[in-house]
Amino acid sequence: MTIRPIVRYPDRRLAMPARTVTAFDDGLRELAADLLDTMRAAPGIGITAPHIGMPLRVVVLELDAKDGPLTYVNPVIEWTSPEMILHREGSVSMPGVNDEVQRHARVRISYWDLDGSMQSEESDGLRAVCHQHEIDQLDGVFWIQRLSRLKRERLVKKYEKMGRDM
């Protein structure tokens, strides 16, 4: 297990759709373990393979100690609720800035586990927000694209200023 360097915004790799995983092997399990270590070190609660420069559809979430880390391979949103919620979001690729993003309150996703078995999961609240946020990233949609142009420009300026001040 290794902590990998995180791709930082505005790296263009964050805007590229990730490729479908086809090999469910030790390499995939090693990638998932590295993602978990990297996410914990960042720190964060969710990370995708594109965050470390690997254009593959892999997500690792760790929202609480009770459930532990969960890995989603090739996740797809199958259903979204009409109800919406606002939730504060950020990214390991843009540390130090966050803002409220409107998302569906509930979602159902399908995905493969690390053993190559098809799974389905319904989620609400924070988990639903994370599913949408990370699947967006796999599709090449960085979270700030969900903000108004004015909010997005303000956040980018703040992030750039933070980089200059370091």
- Total Cβ atoms within 10 A of residue 133: 24
Q: Tokens 């142009």 belong to which residue?
A: 149
In 3D, which of 78, 87, 80, 74 has the Cα closest to residue 48?
Answer: 74
Do residues 130 and 45 touch, judged by C-beta distance below 8 A? Answer: yes
Residues annotated catalytic, as ranges: 134
Tokens coding 84? 């919406």
